Amino acid sequence: MLHPVGDLPAGVYWRRRALVLGIAASVLGGGGWLVGTAGSSAEAGTRVASSSTEVQPSLAAPALEQVVPSLAAVQTPSVTEPSAEPAPASSPEQAPPAVEAPAAAPDPGQPCTDDMVSVDVAPAGGQAAVGDKPTFTLVVTNVSGVPCTRTTDAGLREIVLLDAAGARVWGSNDCFPEVSSESRTLAPGEAASFPLQWGGRTSEPTCTAPRTAPPAGSYALQGRLGTKTGPATPFTLT
């Protein structure tokens, strides 16, 4: 081993042996380094695991008094006691407006006064021939805004015929007065009609004067109900 044998000079063989030994030493050194590195890594992993295990106790849940604040530290809002002094009386300007009570419903049985009704005569066509017997109609209308009741007895209803000078020519109650007892309840704007036929001759309240047919000309018809007298309505005899 220490004395090389061969045809080459001895220096050549020594150099080869030195090269082989160097390579072997490198291989051995590299293997030792790998083993050391692996050991260091394992040791480092063990240290990390140990450190993690040691840290766990420090992550324990904090004590209850550290999470929930002390009740003494919480400020409870104070409740202001109501003042015992009476509130000042409101001035008249601040008082609410008074509410008017609704008007009472009208009594349908209240009487119709003269101001609450109108009395008119509707002549048949506005004219008639001398000697004819036309029918006139007495119309009583409630001109108020409430219902009311009016006595309409036949003895209170009358139609008169007046000449152009305003003299009385005929009256429906002169010779043949009618008697009845009746009344009408009229709603606002409602009218009651009472037809009456004229005999075509003159008359007067005592019905003692001769009765004749009035001549042709211009006349007027006027209606009455008790104390209420209506306006004159033109009428012509031909």
Question: For the segment 103-117, what is each residue's pLDDT rounded down to a tens digit?
Answer: 555 566 699 999 999
**Residue-wise pLDDT tens digits, 52-106:** 444 444 444 444 445 444 444 445 455 455 454 555 455 545 555 666 655 555 5
Q: Distance (Å, rounded) from C-alpha 159 to C-alpha 151?
A: 17
pLDDT score of 56: 46
Identify each DSSP E strand in 73-144 by its residue range.
117-122, 127-128, 135-142
Residue 217 and residue 107 in contact, taking contact as beta carbons nearer than 8 Å: no
- For the chain, residues with pLDDT lower than 70 are 1-14, 20, 24-109
- Please give the CATH superfamily to which domain 114-237 belongs: Intracellular proteinase inhibitor BsuPI (2.60.40.2360)
116 vs 111: CA distance, rounded Å: 9
Task: Name the residue ranges covered by the structural domains of the chain.
Answer: 10-55, 114-237
User: What is the DSSP-derived secondary structure letter of residue 226?
Assistant: T
